[in-house]
Amino acid sequence: MLALSVCATPALAKPQWAIAIHGGAGVIERTDMSPETEAAYRAAMARAVATGSAVLERGGSSMDAVEAVIREFEDDPLFNAGRGAVFTAEGRNELDAAIMDGATLKAGSVAGVTRTRHPVSLARAVMEKSRHVMMIGAGADAFAASVGLEQVEPSWFFTERRWAQLVKALTDMGLPIPPRPTGAPAPHAFTPIPDDRKFGTVGVVALDTAGNVAAGTSTGGMTAKRWGRVGDAPIIGAGTYASNQSCAVSATGSGEYFIRLTVAREICALVQYKGLTLQAAADEVIQTRLTALGGDGGIVALTPDGQIAWSFNSPGMYRARAAAGEAPVISIYKDEP
Ligand code: ASP
């Protein structure tokens, strides 16, 4: 007698937790990168992924993981967020950040803050401690102080490398060079980093053991930005979005294009309404639509069922991912996994 065995394909086990991180996209080429600089970025990404994984591993929430990782980045001068942020044309650091909870669709965001050490925590406070979703400028900093978030002198965010980038950008644009900010250290030598486009925004998406996703993004925006310019990072649905119905996304790149395409929400909509896999949705929006519009940059994303994706159309993107039971992956260049 012939025994017929029916072999069902085992469903892919959903990881207990997962995290994906970016540290900005841009013209990041192997040929321009010194071994020391590359090692510094890889180490920072590894630390970030370890911080986030530790929160999730012990059962912490995706919101806590996102905030913890971004706070570390905001203190790391390698990245364009918090200390190390790029300068406006007027020589100021104006910081944008957002965070969103996929379980509740609650969100908080801030733009143009100049005194709050951790803009991501301020975004979270806007979400949790106010009736609002978005605050800007001096009002946002005043709210931060009122809820006890650490305030610093604006010169806290100053780095020589970003100042040199500003001077070069303004010179190229034929614009006047502003005086060095009050309280900035005397000019000193620094290690230039080959990132022509001055990106370096940070973002995190996480899935926790309760099945909830969250996303957060923090940035100084674009070098030599003018007139109170705000990028995509704090715009919910553009640079940051999270919903347990679809996915969580954090973006980096030329913000004006990400705003016009509502990149983060668009990726989630393709997952939610068209049933695309996360990677297909991300590639459709980044590789096809963003590229067609002339924008550049990328995203990291994940779904409540544990799919993780990244997609970028620039030569590189600092990025890392990890999931329960899987070794972390840390990558910079396009030809890496
Ligand atoms: N997306 C950010 C902005 O436009 C910049 C970046 O990601 O580098 O403000």
Going through the chain in order, the beta strands assigned E by DSSP cover 18-26, 95-101, 106-113, 134-136, 202-207, 213-219, 240-242, 248-253, 297-302, 308-312, 316-323, 326-333
Instruction: Please report the pLDDT score of residue 140 as a whole number.
Output: 98
Per-residue confidence band for 195, with pLDDT thresholds at 50, 70 and 90: low
Residue reference for tokens 């999730």: 56
CA of 201 to the centre of ligand 1 (A): 6
List residues bridging with 252 in a β-sheet. Answer: 298
Residue reference for tokens 């614009």: 175
259 in contact with ligand 1, CB cutoff 6 A? no
Instruction: Please report the pLDDT score of residue 2 as a whole number.
Output: 42
Average pLDDT over residues 102-128: 98
3-state secondary structure of 167: helix
Q: What domains, with CATH codes, occur in the chain?
A: 5-333 (3.60.20.30)
Instruction: Please report the pLDDT score of residue 200 as a whole number.
Output: 87
Pair 120, 240: CB distance under 8 Å: no
CA of 246 to the centre of ligand 1 (A): 24
CA of 217 to the centre of ligand 1 (A): 10
Q: How far is CA 46 from CA 96, 147, 291, 328, in A?
A: 24, 32, 29, 8
Residue 319 has pLDDT above 50, yes or no: yes
CA angle 158, 161, 163 (to 5 degrees): 55
201 in contact with ligand 1, CB cutoff 6 A? yes
Q: Per mean pLDDT, which range of 129-133, 162-166, 198-202 is the poorest?
A: 198-202
232 in contact with ligand 1, CB cutoff 6 A? yes
93 in contact with ligand 1, CB cutoff 6 A? no
3-state secondary structure of 321: strand
Per-residue confidence band for 193, with pLDDT thresholds at 50, 70 and 90: low
Residue 157 has pLDDT above 70, yes or no: yes
CA of 177 to the centre of ligand 1 (A): 22
The span from the CA of 143 to the CA of 128, in Å, is 12
Instruction: Please report the pLDDT score of residue 6 as a whole number.
Output: 41
Phi and psi torsions of 178, nearest 5°: -75, 165
Residue 201 has pLDDT above 60, yes or no: yes
Per-residue confidence band for 17, with pLDDT thresholds at 50, 70 and 90: very high
pLDDT tens digits for 93-106?
999 999 999 999 99
- Catalytic residues, which ones? 201
pLDDT more than 70, % of the chain = 94
Instruction: Please report the pLDDT score of residue 155 as a whole number.
Output: 96
221 in contact with ligand 1, CB cutoff 6 A? yes
What is the residue-averaged pLDDT of the chain?
Answer: 93
The span from the CA of 332 to the CA of 38, in Å, is 9
Pairwise pLDDT comparison (12 vs 19), residue with the higher score: 19
Residue reference for tokens 């100021």: 92
Per-residue confidence band for 7, with pLDDT thresholds at 50, 70 and 90: very low
Instruction: Please report the pLDDT score of residue 288 as a whole number.
Output: 98
The span from the CA of 226 to the CA of 244, in Å, is 36
pLDDT tens digits for 70-95?
999 999 999 999 999 999 999 999 99
The span from the CA of 197 to the CA of 314, in Å, is 10
Residue type, 56: L
Instruction: Please report the pLDDT score of residue 194 as a whole number.
Output: 60
Report the nearest-CA residue for atom 8 of ligand 1.
199
Average pLDDT over residues 135-163: 97
